[in-house]
Chains A and B, each alone.
Chain A
Amino acid sequence: MNFTDTLILLVEDEEYLAKMYEVEFQLNDFKVKWAKDGEEGFTFASVDQPALIVSDIILPKMDGLTLLKKLKSDLKTKNIPVVILTNYGEQKNMKDAFSTGAADFVVKYLATPKEVVEKIKVVLEKTAKETAAQVNAENPTGV
């Protein structure tokens, strides 16, 4: 699958961490938009309609799990897959994230930026397949 210029929204308040992931995403031909807090993340998601959102949990203004909830309950953003990327890898956070609709949950210190990219690619491929299946189901004749 070709991901060239696929837009990823990165919601991360730690500037250096954001820069590090941005570099790796761009080296893999993704386009990246950076939001510094949860509120900005929601605004950018609604306006820019990224293919995928990568979000931290502890964020200023609106935390990542609240953002996830808000994204999943909004018609414009509910279909955008969200990968939670955090250093708070506790079971409760993971459970909350998946039950709210996260596509994946990655613990920062356990995954290199390259591994994060690999996980993003898997989620994007899965989403593309699901979307194609849904289109086929709605229009089986392809007309």
Chain B
Amino acid sequence: MPTVIAILFLFFANVIALIAFLVAVFKREKVQRKFDDTVAYLASKEEFNALVVHELRTPLSLISGSTDTILRHKDLKREVLEDLVTSIKTSSDSMLELVSAILDLAKMEAGRFGVTKEKSDLVKLIDEVVDAFVPLSESKKLKIIFEKKELPPIPMDPFRIRQVLNNLLSNAIKYADKGEIKIYTHIQDDKVTVCVQDQGRGISEEELPSLFARYNRLSSSKGSIGSGLGLVVVKGIVEAHGGHIWVDSKLGIGSTFCFSLPLSP
């Protein structure tokens, strides 16, 4: 009898030791995974900060350099002076845009980003945004076509949806050198979808998955300050409305960015 007890005791002791060992391994893996995630997060954040600093340096170099030239040459021709002052204004606007995008992103990350929905006229809003972009598109000989369709009042934050449209349209103009930019809407089930289609340079298959990802793209869109970050913010705005955003693109053919918004509040 004592032998049986001893064997049972040994058996259970081994089972407990095995369970303890497996729990320890699992815990260690969990801690390691958490540690790896933290390291990856910090690395991406550090990379993001470096990119933001660089994106700020470009307009700052412009503001500082142009101001220096203006101050040293009192007899600049009017058109040269206008060019330099325009570059200062554009750089300041870019920096404001970038700073706003960073603040929005920070709010999104902290879960404090919200939208104030009110039933609004989306067609009128698109019309206004298109009108504002006509001079820029004409300067690049691009035509913006808004294929208007009647829409019911949409529950949305007009200020934020204007920001989304501004971003998509300015990107379409920035990356296209020819052709038309088409904006169209359609209603399906309980959603309205808005698409901005361009005949620009398109996006490669490798770039597509990371297009709306955080801490990405900022550097590859050099020269178009904040545009990469803008898309991340745009995604956050659309999702805060309960909607979705997606893109179809082919390199050399063009891109179509679409977002959907729910029709019910």
Spell out A's residues near B (CB within 8 Å): 13-14, 16-17, 19-21, 23-24, 27, 58, 60, 87-88, 108-109, 112-114
Contacts and interface: CB of A to CB of B under 8 A. Distances in A.
Given A24-B65, A88-B54, A113-B65, 5 more contacts: A13-B222, A20-B66, A20-B84, A109-B57, A113-B69
B60 interface: yes
Contact of A17 (B58, B73, B76): B58
A13 B174 CA distance: 13
Nearest to B86: A16
A54 to B, nearest CB: 13
Given A19-B83, A19-B87, A20-B87, A114 B69 contact: yes
A13 B86 CA distance: 17
Q: Is the interface of B mostly helix, strand, loop or mixed?
A: helix
A58 B222 contact: yes
A74 B60 CA distance: 36
B39 to A, nearest CB: 22
Contacts of A109: 57, 60-61, 64
Contacts, number: 61
B65 A14 contact: no
Interface residues of B, number: 24
A16 B62 contact: yes
Given A16-B62, A112-B65, A87 B72 contact: no
Contacts of A24: 65, 69
A87 B68 contact: no
B64 A112 contact: yes
A21 B222 CA distance: 18
Nearest to B224: A14
A20 B65 contact: yes
